[in-house]
Amino acid sequence: MLFHQGAPALGEGGLSTSEGLGRLERIANEQLSPAGQTQVAVAQRMLDVCDEQLAVVRRQVLAAAKQMHGARVLGEALYGVGPVTALALVCWLGGAGRFRSSRQAVRFAGLDVTVYSSAGKSSPGRLSRQGPAVLRWCVYEAGKTHARASAPDHAYYATVKERIDGKRAAISEARKIIRKAVHLLNDLGDDAFIWTGTG
């Protein structure tokens, strides 16, 4: 709406900061038509409602992660894996005999490297990006925590980052997290889904 009516962009922070929201209100009041002001006001109300609903869902997800046995085990055993990531790992990777190998789980998550070859030429490995995008995002974010000097696997992360880049280092750590999670979940079997009822 700002663009269509020739008003300046919000700039850094956008709608995610109180300064950005204040800027939007001033711009809407001073530079937008009444119809534009109405559209901006409706959009802001819709964002507020979405935020309220997201807060409810987040509380439910965190409560589930605290009460599911497998999620608690993974959260305690794997560096960088918080409650949301632990719950995602259990939901997508858990269960007795779900995967025959950790390599299969990495492939399922879309973190395996594929090689495309045509006419005798092959391109460098790219991620397959098949499987649950949310799981891939969660473990990638967990992998990035190994950039901290206090991380147990920081030396490996730093080596890969120096040799290639930080993104590849985080992906490598994400693969390791998936592999370790599969072994832990295989040990737990269906007990990973036990609902402990304690927070």
3-state helix, strand, coil in the chain (%, to 5): 65, 5, 30
The residue whose two tokens read 């979405």 is 50
Closest CA to 91 of 57, 31, 134, 129: 134
SS3 (DSSP) at 118: strand
pLDDT value at residue 189: 93
Summary mean pLDDT of the chain: 89
| pLDDT higher than 80, residue 120 | no
Separation CA 97–CA 33 (nearest Å): 61
Higher pLDDT, 116 or 20: 20
| pLDDT higher than 60, residue 117 | no
Q: Say which amino acid occupies 181.
A: A
The DSSP annotation for 40-73 comes to HHHHHHHHHHHHHHHHHHHHHHHHHHHHBHHHHH
Residue 125's pLDDT band, with cuts at 50, 70 and 90, is low
Separation CA 53–CA 118 (nearest Å): 48
Query: Tell me: the pLDDT tens digits for 162-191?
Result: 999 999 999 999 999 999 999 999 999 999
The residue whose two tokens read 């900061």 is 17
